[in-house]
Structure 1
Amino acid sequence: MNHARPTQRFRSTSSTSSASSRSSAGARRRPAAPQGEFALPRTVTPALPAVDAFADLDMPAALLAALGSQGVTVPFPIQAATLPNSLAGRDVLGRGRTGSGKTLAFGLALLARTAGRRAEARQPLGLVLVPTRELAQQVTDALTPYARAVRLRLATVVGGVSIGRQASALRGGVEIVVATPGRLKDLIERGDCRLDQVAVTVLDEADQMADMGFMPQVTALLDQVRRDGQRMLFSATLDRNVDLLVRRYLSDPVVHSVDPSAGAVTTMEHHVLHVHGADKHAATTEIAARDGRVLMFLDTKHAVDRLTEHLLNSGVRAAALHGGKSQPQRTRTLTQFKSGHVSVLVATNVAARGIHVDSLDLVVNVDPPTDHKDYLHRGGRTARAGESGSVVTLVTPSQRRAMSRLMATAGIVPQTTQVRAGAEALHRITGAQAPSGVPVVITAPAAPERPGRGSGSRGRRRPASAARRAASARRSATGTAAA
């Protein structure tokens, strides 16, 4: 069955303004959309004005109190612009760089509009679809204190962990499900979940879901939610695949658009470092040995494992993250990185979405990305929520032309510097320094993170000998490339 609501095909849209200024912007000519992107729909119904404080919003008192207890008092622009409208039941189309405050922008509306209702077994009332397991857990963690405040139950539904525990949570009744498309599809096919009572649906990082090939699953899931329900779609970029979702499933949406690259200019520095191929490995090692945390991106799982092993042998507290890891390994590695137990996270694009680490001020593209969207999402791990940060890309002579084209497509003018290992310029830009050269072994934290409901995480393991712990930690840090 097809629950897609009839929508109007719009011809134009507002520029990169907030919702409060869009009603008067319709007469202005919109600049041409970036290459490969479509013109956003113009709001037909005038948008409600943006607010200056959460207290100005029509939200349950318990939610406002929870925001205060979490120290959240002033909304970010995307929250101030969209919440008055989403709380009123309007569909929302939000375009903005990662770290702009999207999670609370949709999460508070989802919780406020679901508060006071109780879900039947297997029939959630709200749904958040995300592309990766890490993003699902991040969204769940961010919304949990507010869901508790209004007595709503959340379940995280992702692959890589026990489907039985997730099915049990759904059978017990949960109001909100945060899910990746594949695992949710599996649970529906098992008869453990139905979506016909879902009144509020959120698609977060919709462009990534399209890039990862989830579009058929996403549309099949959207066809099952309530036809008269509310839809909110958030994405850092809006290409033709996302255009399909917008035009098929969103009705008269409130549009909030902030160009991803422009939104990062004031808080993020972009550096392209020209290095010779023979010197790149040494320069990478010196950057990793800096004081403070750093996230390094490489193209393949094998390259990630090799660099991680090299860094550990050089005295750098590094760990690997890629799709060849089990979900418990990935969760443990992220916990170690966030706590500072690991100072360098070496990753493939699996970490480009859904990872939030406070005070992460440096992202390094050891292997330059081949797509401007990948560049924006990798860089989005730093300079989040108004903090400052730098994105550094190491470029060999043969990669210079392609990198120049990528930056132009992304709308970024980087600072370009010729560097070499041990040079002052490399230290000035990245904090690079010589590693200690004393091999290190990353041991597991003393107390594992408590699993959330429906997460499927296992409990504490029995104590192991020191030798076994060291060997296990080394395997966890370096991993094995999957076929």
Structure 2
Amino acid sequence: MNRTRTNDRFTPTRGESAAPGKSSGRFVVAAPSRHSTRSGAPGRRPAQVQGEFALPATITPAMPAAASFADLDMPAELLAELGRQGVTVPFPIQGATLPNSLAGRDVLGRGRTGSGKTLAFGLALLARTARQRAEPRQPLGLILVPTRELAQQVTDALTPYARALKLRLATVVGGVSIGRQASALRGGVEVVVATPGRLKDLIERGDCRLDQVRVTVLDEADQMADMGFMPQVTALLDQVRPEGQRMLFSATLDRNVDLLVRRYLSDPVVHSVDPSAGAVTTMEHHVLQVHGGDKHAATTEIAARDGRVLMFLDTKHAVDRLTEHLLASGVRAAALHGGKSQPQRTRTLTQFKSGHVDVLVATNVAARGIHVDHLDLVVNVDPPTDHKDYLHRGGRTARAGESGSVVTLVVPHQRRAMARLMATAGIVPQITQVSSGDEALHRITGSRTPSGVPVVIAAPVAERPKRRATTRGRRSPASAARRASAQRSTGVAAA
């Protein structure tokens, strides 16, 4: 039986059908049966999967959505901090999930990237951990994310609320000093935001245990599955308290996540809000058909526009080449990809967010977990090959109700594949034939001719190498900067 979603419930709909094994494009979920187990633990029940997920005949009803944060049963300190941050009205996914998650229910949420998922799970986790104190090496709450950038973004978003509740928050990611992260865990933190690989390393070192974790969140679970993290994720989830609360959030949920739902969610409250980037009315989608010989010039003119732009390419080498070309053309550009060290990636993102850099040229490492205010243009210089990649790349713009455009440059031999991808994503783009220098390209992207005066993006003054200090026991400025950068990446927040 097919179901469409009404409010927080799914109800049967006539006249719809989906072939077995194929996704109908809808988000449905099964609540498991009370008589089976998860890894031998009673109360964790397998779901039946058909298409994406299949709902059972009956599920526990969801609590009514909250119209304001004041209607929620949250600590006064948390409500006060929301007011100080200017956050007064919940986004749909927050209003829908928080009444249930604050009551301890498992939650399965699907929301378009930028729809407010971080506070949806973060406020619940912090509220349910409030007024508790963790023992050394034994955190009480865990947030698992697929990338370092997303881990840092989640930490930044939740830090003021954790401080308001006097909860200690630590970020555990690769690419930075494991010793400092281990030291933070040994000192005791209530909440850990982690990528699976680094957390696994710290557990194996004896610096962390998960047997006291009462609330666990998986953010962007589908990307963790796509990146091959599933064995690590399941091994970590098997270590948290079996009776604890689990919340799984993602912008897309497909069959790759069914294992997590079957094994780890018990009678979940199911919510689907803004199911895809294509459903966002404040986002425009353009496919610009260009000739291969003119694509480079058109890309350069788009990059020279007045305002920030995020450009995606397929490979690290292509990112570096375009960045060098843009700098030589007078465009303030910087590269972001997996070949950069974590301090370099952090610095580049900071420069882009602050306006020191106008164009961020990136591989898919920036497709998720990066939030930049007032970013109104994303350009797929190289079209993505997967519709989920398209949705996540595009999700960097039109966030939190703002408007934005996603532009994809397509040469003739890519047109058919791009049409199929858009159809799969449920998007009907505006298709325009353009050339460098023409009015249509300027109207859609704000393109203009670059100055041609080469620019150099310098590192912040504190990070420029200086002559090594000779005084015994004194660190050089460069060493101090590296130490400060590593401390920021460690992300320990306390009252």
- Assess, with a 3 A threshold, how the Cα gap between structure 1 residues 292 and 16 changes in structure 2: closer, same or farther: farther
Identity %: 85
Q: Look up the SS of the partner of 1:390 in the other structure.
A: strand
Instruction: Check if 1:383 corresponds to 2:373.
Output: no
User: Which of residues 201, 212, 217 in structure 1 aligns to 2:232?
Assistant: 217
Distance across 1 between alignment mates of 2:173 and 2:61: 38
> Could you tell me which of 304, 322, 330 is aligned with 2:345?
330
Matched, 1:38 2:27: no
CA RMSD for the aligned pairs? Answer: 1.7
Separation in 2, partners of 1:80, 1:241: 27
Matched, 1:243 2:233: no
SS of residue in 2 equivalent to 1:370: coil
In structure 1, the residue matched to 2:419 is: 404
- What is the CA–CA distance in structure 1 between the aligned matches of 2:51 and 2:461, rounded to whole Å? 48
Counterpart amino acid of residue 53 in structure 2: A
Report the AA paired with residue 240 of structure 1: R
Residue 15 of structure 1 and its aligned partner are, at CA, apart by: 2.9
Find out whether 1:73 has 2:98 as its counterpart: no
More off after superposition, 355-364 vs 253-262: 253-262
CA distance in 2 between counterparts of 1:326 and 1:386 reads 33
AA aligned opposite 1:18:
N
In structure 2, do the counterparts of structure 1 residues 40 and 289 end up closer, same or farther at CA, with 3 Å as the change threshold? farther
Mapped partners of 2:120, 2:391: distance in 1: 20
Q: CA deviation at 1:323?
A: 0.1
Q: Are the equivalent residues in 2 in contact too, given 1:139–1:178 (CA < 8 A)?
A: yes
d(CA) in 2 for partners of 1:179, 1:265: 30
Q: CA deviation at 1:278?
A: 0.2
Kindly state the Cα deviation for residue 247 of structure 1 after the two structures are TM-superposed: 1.2
Q: Which residue of 2 aligns with 1:197?
A: 212
Q: Which residue of 2 aligns with 1:357?
A: 372
The answer as to whether partners of 1:313 and 1:439 remain within 8 angstroms in 2 is yes
Aligned AA (2:281): T
User: For residue 333 of structure 2, what is the aligned residue in structure 1?
Assistant: 318
CA 1:106–1:443 in 2, change beyond 3 Å: closer, same or farther?
same
Per-residue CA distance 1:16-51 (angstroms, 9 max, x = gap): 4432xx1xx434467644369513545711110001
Preserved contact between residue 119 and residue 175 of structure 1 (Cα < 8 Å): yes
Distance apart, 1:445 and its partner CA: 2.5
In the TM superposition, what whole-angstrom CA distance separates every residue of 1:311-331 from its partner, at most 9, and x where no partner exists? Answer: 000000000000000000000
Q: 1:105 to 1:292 in 2, by over 3 A?
A: same
* 2:52 counterpart letter in structure 1: F
Residue 26 (structure 1) aligns with: 11
Q: Please state how far the C-alpha of 1:444 moved relative to its aligned partner.
A: 1.6
AA aligned to 1:26 is: T
Q: Do the aligned partners of residues 303 and 217 (structure 1) sit closer, same or farther apart at CA in structure 2, a change above 3 Å counting?
A: same
Q: Structure 1 residues 31 and 90 mapped into 2: Cα distance closer, same or farther (>3 Å)?
A: farther
- Identify if the C-alpha distance between structure 1 residues 307 and 350 changes in structure 2 by more than 3 Å, giving closer, same or farther: same
| Counterpart Cα distance in 2 of 1:373 and 1:27 | 27
Cα–Cα, structure 1 residues 259 and 385, in superposed 2: closer, same or farther, change >3 Å? closer
Q: Residues 371, 352 of structure 1: CA spacing in aligned structure 2 closer, same or farther, 3 A cutoff? A: same
SS of corresponding position for 1:15: strand
Q: Amino acid of the residue matched to residue 401 of structure 2? A: G
1:393 partner amino acid:
T
2:45 alignment counterpart: none
CA distance in 2 between partners of 1:264 and 1:26 (Å): 21
Structure 1: unaligned runs, 5 residues or longer: 1-10, 449-459, 465-483
Paired residues in the alignment total 438
Q: Give how far 1:260 is off.
A: 3.2
User: What corresponds to 1:56 in structure 2?
Assistant: 71
- Contact 1:16–1:259, Cα closer than 8 Å, also in 2: no
Aligned pair in 2 of structure 1 residues 463, 189: CA closer, same or farther (>3 Å)? closer
CA 1:270 to 1:461, structure 2 compared with 1: closer, same or farther past 3 Å? farther
The residue number in structure 2 matching 1:477 is none
Scaled by the length of structure 2, the TM-score of the pair is 0.86
**1:422-452 Cα deviation digits (max 9, x unpaired):** 000000000000000000000122457xxxx
**Aligned residues of 1:17 and 1:258 also touching (Cα < 8 A):** no
Shift in Å, 1:463: 6.8
CA contact under 8 A between 1:261 and 1:412: conserved in structure 2? no
The aligned amino acid for 2:135 is E
Q: Which runs of 5+ in 2 are unaligned?
A: 26-49, 464-474, 480-495
Counterpart CA distance in 2 for 1:108 and 1:82 is: 11
Deviation at 1:238, TM superposition (A): 1.2
Map 1:243-282 → 2, pairs under 5 A: 243-261=258-276, 264-282=279-297
Residue 3 of structure 1: aligned partner = none
TM-score by length of 1: 0.88
> Which residue identity lines up with residue 7 of structure 2 in the other structure?
S
Q: Which moved more, 1:29-38 or 1:99-108?
A: 29-38
The one-letter code matched in structure 2 to 1:278 is: G
Which whole-Å CA distance do the structure 1 matches of 2:278 and 2:88 have between them?
A: 21
